[in-house]
Structure 1
Amino acid sequence: MADWRTDPLVRGIALLDLRPRRVLAAVAAGAATLGSALALAALSAWLITRAWQMPPVLDLSVAVVAVRALGISRGVFRYIERLTTHDTALHGTTAARANIYRRLADGNPAATMGLRRGDLLARTGSDVDTLGDVVVRAIVPIAVAILMAIAAVGILVLISPAAAVVLAAALAVSGIVAPVLAARAAREAEQRAAAARARYSEAAVTALDHATELLVAGRLGDARDRAATAEDEAVRSADRAAIPNGFASAATPLAIGASVLGSLLIGMELYGSGTMSPMALGILVLLPLSAFEATSALPDAAIALGRGRIAARRILAILDEAADVGPGGDCDWAGGGSLTARELRCGRPGGRATAPVDLDLAPGTRIAVVGASGAGKTTLLMTLAGILEPVAGSVRADGLELSRIRADDLRRHIGFFAEDAHLFDTSVLENLRVARGDVDERQARAALVAVGLGEWLAGLPDGLDTSLDGGARALSGGQRRRLLLARALLSPANVLLLDEPTEHLDAGAGANLLRRLLSRDGLSGDTPLVGADRTVVVVTHQLPEDIGVDQVIHVHGAAVENPLPNSAAASSFSDTRGRRWSEVEGHTDT
């Protein structure tokens, strides 16, 4: 028998960090709401039948006041139930996102490498919201329905055990059979809907984030069409998932009718035999109408559980992969040493691998990686950072395999900064503190000025405290790259692996920034951006001819050209700084 603790939904709900006190408060408010309705139905039935007997008005005064009080309390408790339930769910989704981000940050970085950005956003966004819906639409309604069913059947037992059995059977149909049928019928359709929503998120994010590039390439219309098609498919899938819910919802009215009719027949027989009073008969007939109010929400609760299980499975897929950090990872590394690669071949899972490359990154080394888009430049950086496992060969830091170094030490001393790194919808200062949490305003301002954003910063209404509304959409492409570069400069890493830091800048500004980034001594008159003791590896499409680096690696398709300086085919020449360069078949290297 499978352990219930391994169920994806149970594990997913655990991410919400639900506090029992909050959940119990929501259940209590819901029970009070439907309890008021149940008591109102019973008291109204008694009041109607008792008034038919025309007793003195004073005999009815307490019941009249109680009916009014129950009618008012039902609305009050409903409002309290909504507040407590949604408060619990919102706190839960906030905690879930914090838990997911923490696990992804502390886990295997390769866990999210195979996901497109839109799919990742769907898993951390809408899927987490779906888990929160489980609290509002499933956990609390199911608990309340159980309490109300027990209360309603218990009241009828006191009046007529036979009618109580009929009510219990009808409640079972409405509260168990109908939800099970709805969940089973909707499961397959909902799986298609989740996949369709993920495709829509992926297509929409691609169209929004790369609108400028797509417009220039004449592909923006195609991207929008793909997003619209994916949205239509998501809507159709959601509609298909709603059809079984409609059939299941029809079971509740049928169960209500059967229960009322059964209670009426039993009550008439007892009344005819003189063993039941008119007031008891009225309660017997009208009470089931309120009892089914709780179970009518259970088909939707079952579907919410199914959706939550699918969402939890998608979230846990990346969390489990992030938790799989592989063997080793128990060695300390102080950083500041050398990083070496021998016969290193790089590649993403299921993709092509690069040709072998050897690297010696002593402290202060400056290396440029150039090549066409998709050639494998970024993959090389990610392998050097320990994010991707080498396809072949090895990467060592001071003689230690990267896989043996503690994750915290590795990320503290080797920093990979992606070209599409995320900018958050928060202040400029907090966006810079992503790299190092103790960055103060003086350091942040100096870094922004160094990368050429001084004038931009001076024009902001609140300076460093200005919020970047919409994140990256608040900046131009060039401003975004400069801000990401400033974030990299502020990081504590000894080895900086920078992916396209000057993309979207004009040729002159980009070349000047690269010179300062790769310069150690500032002999050209430009102030170096990085200290001479820190290692810098830069991926770029356009490397200025007059720039001085220790090594240039040319990546072409699935091959890495890393010619040796002493090759017989090489013709040597010197640059203005006295470094020796080699030219092999049109490609330069040290």
Structure 2
Amino acid sequence: MTGLLTDFRRIRELLALSRWRMTISIGWGVLALGSGLGLAALAAWLIARAWQMPPVLDLSIAVVTVRALGISRGLCRYLERLATHDVALRATSTARTTTYRALAGADIWRPRRGTTFGVDEPPTAGSGAGDAARHGDPTQLRRGDLLGRVMGDIDDLGAVVVRAFVPIAVAVILALFAVGLLLPISVPAAAILAASLVVAGVIAPWLSALAAREAELAVRSDRTEFTAAALTVLDHAPELRVAGRLDAALSTATVAGQRAVAAEDRAASRSAWAAAATPLSIGVSVLGSLLIGIVLYGTGPAVTTLGFQTVEPGGISPMALTVMVLLPLSAFEAVAVLPAAAQALTNGRAALRRINRLEQGESESPRMDLVKLPEGNRIAVTGPSGAGKTTLLMAWAGLFDTPRPGVTFFAEDAHIFGTTVLENLRVARGDITSDEAVRALRAVGAGPWLDALPDGVDTELIGGAAAVSGGQRRRILLARALLSPARVLLLDEPTEHLEAEAGTDLLRRLLDESSGLVAPGRIVVVVTHQLPADHRADALVRVAADGHSSVERFIPA
């Protein structure tokens, strides 16, 4: 309970909720559902009273009031939606501004290691491979987590206002009002209504919150572990097969997927019970009121109490019986939305925890220990997938603080534009000529592919990357790197998806300063999983799975 209240306060502070605006939203919500509740009670009284065929003037005020309540219900609902969404949109805008400011000063832009498992250490059941998405490298934090937390998580907090705070406050007020309205007619019926409202308004939301938490854990843990394991198999199936670990990796993915499905089924079961609680509570309340009304109906002398013709001792009139039976049908309208409110609140609290960690600059993993580029003109970087090799290159390029002049990072997933081959190479340098482009493409082994193009380097790659194979794409990106004016080339997996022999030969030439592929005065840093044994690199950086790095230097023969 203490944690829940703390989260309430933190959400209110982060969203900078205006108490006055929230009060207005709650007030319109109470008027909207209160109109419905009053309409149900008054309409029931009017129907029963009309059955007694009194003078028309005795019913005129009730008729006009019923019409007024019918109109005010829709009008107040519209005004409540306007007021509530105004509060929510203002709050999310404020929260984004606050989060952006916190991010600007947070210590999350420095490289940190990841713990995603790869070829050198494939995931095993129970190994924690599902932590990959939660403990990924900063590139994943910046591209995925950061966008998700600033956009999706803050939207979840805004939804708490619309789907949780206001509906919960309105439900509490209307539930008390409904029980109080029924109390003068029959204490037992009011008690049954109160108990049914507790079931629908407390137990059902609790089950719904459990379902939401179960679903969140399934997605965050089991489903994430399945995704990580499946990607490991898809990305490194040949290496895993050679190492004799493919079956184990497939088994890990299968087990993780089964756990995710089982967790989602448990969450769906709790959601089903939560959804069933409200109609069951309505049925119990109406049936209980009806049975009590049958027992009490028509006994004792007629007495008028609070506008209802009741019968003493303990009896009730036809109007009171009708109100007592029909009132619960409208009373549950306020609590029917509480299971969804509980889910929204659970999601909002989870979003709040993620935003808090992000704003405080917390990291789930320690920083890498190698921040300076080793000496040498040809440097190879190796290590298991997810150890932080790409992050290391990005750090050397200054992408986490200030970009370094003359140092360019070439990502393995760099974009191929839907334009000519020549224009795709001019991304690196705008004055590249056709002859330079042809020489660079032939140097990286793309000559046969280039000869097969109808217009050579002027051929349009319609669809961008979809117009070329994975190997052709890598050769284009490598040619782009060779043509760039940068003195230091940081290449991320430049030979991935190439044929084994061709990729090894190209990697060997990249790491050999005398090969002529790259000018001797330039520095080349290559991240690779397939370092040739006879490479000519000046230094080898080994990045361990725990993020620690070591440098091995080579003395030319």
| Class of the TM-score when normalised by the shorter of the 2 chains | 0.5 to 0.7
Structure 1 residue 232 corresponds to structure 2 residue 219: no
What corresponds to 1:287 in structure 2? 327
What corresponds to 1:114 in structure 2? 115
Shift of 1:498: 2.5
CA distance in 1, matches of 2:400, 2:148: 29
What corresponds to 2:538 in structure 1? 551
CA distance in 1, matches of 2:454, 2:100: 33
What corresponds to 2:229 in structure 1? 203
- Match of 1:273, SS state, is strand
Shift of 1:236: 1.0
8 Å CA contact 1:367–1:537 kept in 2: the answer is yes
Q: Which runs of 5+ in 1 are unaligned?
A: 328-343, 348-357, 388-396, 398-404, 430-437, 566-580, 583-590
CA RMSD of aligned residues (A): 6.6
- Match of 1:368, SS state, is strand
Amino acid at match of 2:163: V
* Offset from partner CA, 1:523-573 (integer Å, 9 cap, x none): 95x6x5x7x77532224535697x9x782548699986424x4xxxxxxxx
Structure 1 residue 274 corresponds to structure 2 residue 304: yes
What corresponds to 2:40 in structure 1? 41
Q: Structure 1 489/440 Cα, relative in aligned 2: closer, same or farther at 3 Å?
A: closer
8 Å CA contact 2:11–2:157 kept in 1: the answer is no
* Offset from partner CA, 1:385-404 (integer Å, 9 cap, x none): 658xxxxxxxxx9xxxxxxx
* 1:290-369 alignment, distance < 5 Å: 290-310=330-350, 313=353, 320=360, 361=375, 366-369=377-380
8 Å CA contact 1:518–1:536 kept in 2: the answer is yes
What corresponds to 1:537 in structure 2? 525
* Offset from partner CA, 1:492-536 (integer Å, 9 cap, x none): 97644334312333478657865886698x995x6x5x7x77532
Q: Structure 1 244/502 Cα, relative in aligned 2: closer, same or farther at 3 Å?
A: closer
CA distance in 2, matches of 1:240, 1:517: 53
8 Å CA contact 1:11–1:312 kept in 2: the answer is yes
Shift of 1:262: 6.0
What corresponds to 2:498 in structure 1? 505
Structure 1 residue 53 corresponds to structure 2 residue 59: no
* 1:124-523 alignment, distance < 5 Å: 124=145, 139-151=162-174, 153-154=176-177, 157=180, 166=191, 170-180=196-206, 183=209, 191=217, 194-210=220-236, 226-245=252-271, 252=278, 255-256=281-282, 260=286, 261=288, 272-275=302-305, 276-277=308-309, 279=319, 282-310=322-350, 313=353, 320=360, 361=375, 366-369=377-380, 374=384, 407-409=400-402, 421-422=412-413, 442=430, 450=440, 466=463, 476-482=469-475, 485=478, 495-506=488-499, 510=503
TM-score between both structures, scaled by the size of structure 1: 0.56
Shift of 1:29: 9.4
Q: Structure 1 246/113 Cα, relative in aligned 2: closer, same or farther at 3 Å?
A: same
* Offset from partner CA, 1:206-239 (integer Å, 9 cap, x none): 3444567668989777655543432221121122
Amino acid at match of 1:143: V
Shift of 1:108: 3.9
TM-score between both structures, scaled by the size of structure 2: 0.59
What corresponds to 1:573 in structure 2? none
CA distance in 1, matches of 2:480, 2:28: 48
* Offset from partner CA, 1:436-467 (integer Å, 9 cap, x none): xx969947999987567895897999958946
Shift of 1:42: 3.7
Higher RCO (CA-CA < 8 Å; seq separation 6+): 2
CA distance in 2, matches of 1:427, 1:31: 56
Give the total of aligned pairs.
490
What corresponds to 1:334 in structure 2? none
Shift of 1:147: 1.7
8 Å CA contact 1:38–1:152 kept in 2: the answer is no
8 Å CA contact 1:118–1:203 kept in 2: the answer is no
* 1:39-118 alignment, distance < 5 Å: 40-42=39-41, 44-54=43-53, 107-111=108-112, 113-115=114-116, 118=133
8 Å CA contact 1:415–1:493 kept in 2: the answer is yes
8 Å CA contact 1:110–1:322 kept in 2: the answer is no
